[in-house]
Structure 1
């Protein structure tokens, strides 16, 4: 069994451990103006958290790619998410912010070079991964941040327990392309699901805000293509997608792959999408632990 399969299956227990750390020093106080920075998967997790924190009334929160952080903009705290703690753009950002603003780094490595560059650090070493492809560190970070916002992570983890066992709603023999959609905080999850398909399997996958999908991207929908929505679905969208011949996937659509009558947390939906990405890889004889052209951390010369 690949490392990533084991890591995907371990996520619900990792979420429970992360939730126990919700009182850790370095997480934002209510009312603080906060920026969250990351690269790749970590950026998408930053997007999800930023939307949730504002939605829940905890304060203005922005998410940035570390390389595109706006120099000179004022924040009460900057959070940097980096599994390895070695990513060049994160180290450069923390160095540039030193002494200007309180910083917190969330990482999986207790010896990460990012730690001494930040004012505070939170280490999720139980979520460290052997696979190049990120799964449990990213979702455990989001579980930590959601728990700090007051979310019931045990309920989320119970949904995750089901997600690691469910039959998959998409099969590679029947899907040549997949588009993920989200609204609000699930836009970040949709972006992450698409990235998993691209990097693990080289699969053609895209992601959009659900309301934006009608404004052009729907043109690629057709038979043997899939549109997979996380969270809330705009009225009429499923019918518009199915009219193109594409398959519409949603946890509540036509009874859903979860079974009728239960609204599961979108983080559990992401677990199912991760499993689909691994299936896409193995169906082509690819190694999902070591994707072509992808490294564990981007360290620039």
Structure 2
């Protein structure tokens, strides 16, 4: 079994460990109150961590009403004045890095500090550069050996969602109720993927609106990294504005989100073009989980899909082409 495959299936354990660690962080250190006192919060990451940032920025604004913005680390240290306005709003940053040593993210954090923005770092590595430079750091007890990020994606999202929910005095035990269902979710997704003749597809498209756009973009990256497939990702309704010209009977489209009318309409439009469409909201209902709070678990579908396509192509997912576990320069 590939390391990546093992780590996909370990997510019940990693999510439970994250839940316990985040509760302990709040009990011992308190909440990073500067985030909830800000006028705007910037969410920063690179690669998969940037797609975590997109998801969390939307979740943060949805729950708190505070404006937020997700940006790649390079946009901060390389083009600060073009991305961060000269104003007197209260501002803060959330810096996300699995290793805590990604050069772009660490430089972004330093740039924020130079400009007097308080920062929260989220990482798996307590001895990292990000831990040293951030004002506060949430360190998750997750060991991820694979180059391709899988269980760290879901764990980081859960940890920050918990911080937001605790600040709102919401009951976080809702997350604990899902621990025992993750294996079931994986089985439902595996069964669905088994029904699909993946060999005939030459083009994979992932769509998502709001925080689900973060999942769509991460799904696209997973297939690129794991299976060297031609993939694209878009905010759902943007796909109508030009990109759908490439849709045909060799296109597999996955729509992240809830099974609501707008997604159903989009699904029908794309089926009429000959494409095969997976409505993740509809599929997620089969797991009997209806809470938007664990919407991030829909990403498991893309992780399993990428693994299955890679196996069909006889690609070693533990050695993705041209990639390193930590990007330093």
TM-score by length of structure 1 reads: 0.90
User: Contact between 2:256 and 2:281, CA under 8 Å: does it hold in 1?
Assistant: no
The CA RMSD over aligned residues, in Å, is 2.2
Q: Which residue of 2 aligns with 1:200?
A: 226
Q: Which one of the candidate residues 153, 162, 167 is aligned to 2:175?
A: 153
**Structure (1/2) with the larger helix percentage:** 2
Q: Which residue of 1 aligns with 2:295?
A: 266
Matched, 1:183 2:223: no
* Residue 196 (structure 1) shift: 0.1
Q: Which residue of 1 aligns with 2:124?
A: 108
* Residue 139 (structure 1) shift: 1.3
Matched, 1:62 2:69: yes
Matched, 1:98 2:113: yes
* Residue 30 (structure 1) shift: 2.8
Matched, 1:227 2:243: no
Q: Structure 1 pair 119/31, CA: closer, same or farther in 2 (3 Å)? A: closer
Matched, 1:299 2:306: no
* Residue 61 (structure 1) shift: 1.6
Q: 1:92-129: per-residue Cα shift (whole Å, max 9, x none)?
A: 12222335121121111122122111111111132x21
* Residue 273 (structure 1) shift: 1.1
User: Contact between 1:252 and 1:263, CA under 8 Å: does it hold in 2?
Assistant: no
Matched, 1:125 2:151: no
User: Contact between 2:203 and 2:250, CA under 8 Å: does it hold in 1?
Assistant: yes
Q: Structure 1 pair 26/94, CA: closer, same or farther in 2 (3 Å)? A: farther
**Equivalent position SS for 1:125:** coil
Q: Which residue of 1 aligns with 2:2?
A: 2
Q: Which one of the candidate residues 30, 35, 40 is aligned to 2:36?
A: 30
* Residue 12 (structure 1) shift: 2.8
* Residue 252 (structure 1) shift: 4.9
* Residue 221 (structure 1) shift: 1.3
Q: Which residue of 2 aligns with 1:247?
A: 276
* Residue 262 (structure 1) shift: 5.8
Runs (5+) with no aligned partner, structure 1: none
Matched, 1:139 2:146: no
Q: Which one of the candidate residues 306, 309, 314 is aligned to 1:277?
A: 306
Q: In the aligned structure 1, how far is the partner of 2:207 from the partner of 2:74?
A: 25
Q: Which one of the candidate residues 235, 240, 262 is aligned to 1:214?
A: 240
The count of aligned residue pairs is: 297
Runs (5+) with no aligned partner, structure 2: 166-171
Range 172-181 or range 66-75, more displaced: 66-75
Q: In the aligned structure 2, how far is the partner of 1:56 from the partner of 1:7?
A: 30
**Equivalent position SS for 2:129:** coil
Q: Which residue of 1 aligns with 2:16?
A: 16
Q: Structure 1 pair 205/279, CA: closer, same or farther in 2 (3 Å)? A: same
* Residue 16 (structure 1) shift: 2.5
Q: In the aligned structure 1, how far is the partner of 2:217 from the partner of 2:49?
A: 11
TM-score by length of structure 2 reads: 0.83
